[in-house]
Amino acid sequence: MHNIAKIRKYLGFTQKQLAEILGVGQNTISLIENGVIVLTERNRQRLVEKLHVNLKWLSNNEGEMFCDEETAIAQLPAHVTRLINSASNPPSGVPFYNKPIANAAANCLVDVTEEQPDFRIDFRPFNDCTFYRPVFGESMQPKLRSGDIVACKRIENRDVILFGETYFCLLKSGAERIETLRVIRKHEDPSKVILKPLNTNFDDAVVAIDDIVELYVVIGSIVRFM
């Protein structure tokens, strides 16, 4: 994890909130955390000046994250301490996002989940999921219909993919990002998987595991009855 992300998560900030403090765009924070661009000297100094980050730790992982954590937190500007206090008492429930990634100004689903959700769903059996989102399209009928809501939990380790389960995937195709909801099946080539729709009017797709940018297992659904 990039040190910028460590600082942000430690303080409980979203990418948008950290961007506002540093005076940059949210996309800049996302690109730095994903290793697309490097942290500029200007932004290093802003982290030191505004958040009292230890420059040696930031550059070489030497010492502690903050120069003097207790003093540093106490000296932060009022609007920053309010963000930290609000982060220590986060709202209950899991965020619901009502937009597809294709329509979002983001490179990955992590970027989307940094944004303000449409609302939160506080349903205890699913409160360990990462986010809720609606189903778009008809490829997973009859099990899931357009407008149903799925609870998606982020998968960090691709070695623990459960074949036969439904997953929400973000795939890379050149510079584009394509989202899909499919059952993942095992392929004879271990570097690939089969993305299988349940609707027989749609075709299977074979993709390289390395082309899966984000992977979320669907742990449950809220079905609409029409």
pLDDT of amino acid 141: 92
More confident residue, 198 or 224: 198
pLDDT of amino acid 140: 94
Residue 44, both tokens: 């290093």
pLDDT digits (tens, 9 = 90+) for 119-172: 888 888 888 898 999 998 899 999 999 999 999 998 888 888 899 999 999 888
Top-ranked range on mean pLDDT: pick from 71-85, 114-128, 188-202 = 188-202
Q: Is the pLDDT of residue 70 over 80?
A: no
* DSSP 3-state of 10: helix
Q: Sheet holding 94-96: strands in order across?
A: 119-121, 94-96, 131-134, 149-154, 212-222, 166-173, 176-186, 192-196, 205-208
pLDDT of amino acid 150: 94
Top-ranked range on mean pLDDT: pick from 12-16, 113-117, 141-145 = 141-145
Q: Is the pLDDT of residue 184 over 90?
A: yes
For residues 32-42, average pLDDT:
87
For residues 58-83, average pLDDT:
66
For residues 21-47, average pLDDT:
86
pLDDT of amino acid 86: 54
Average pLDDT, whole number, for the chain?
82
CA dist 66 and 60 (Å) reads 13
pLDDT class of 182 with cuts at 50, 70, 90: very high
pLDDT of amino acid 102: 47
Residue 124, both tokens: 């205890």
Which range among 23-37, 72-86, 195-209 shows the weakest confidence by mean pLDDT? 72-86
- Domains of the chain by start residue, with CATH: 3-88 (1.10.260.40), 94-222 (2.10.109.10)
More confident residue, 140 or 69: 140
CA dist 218 and 181 (Å) reads 9
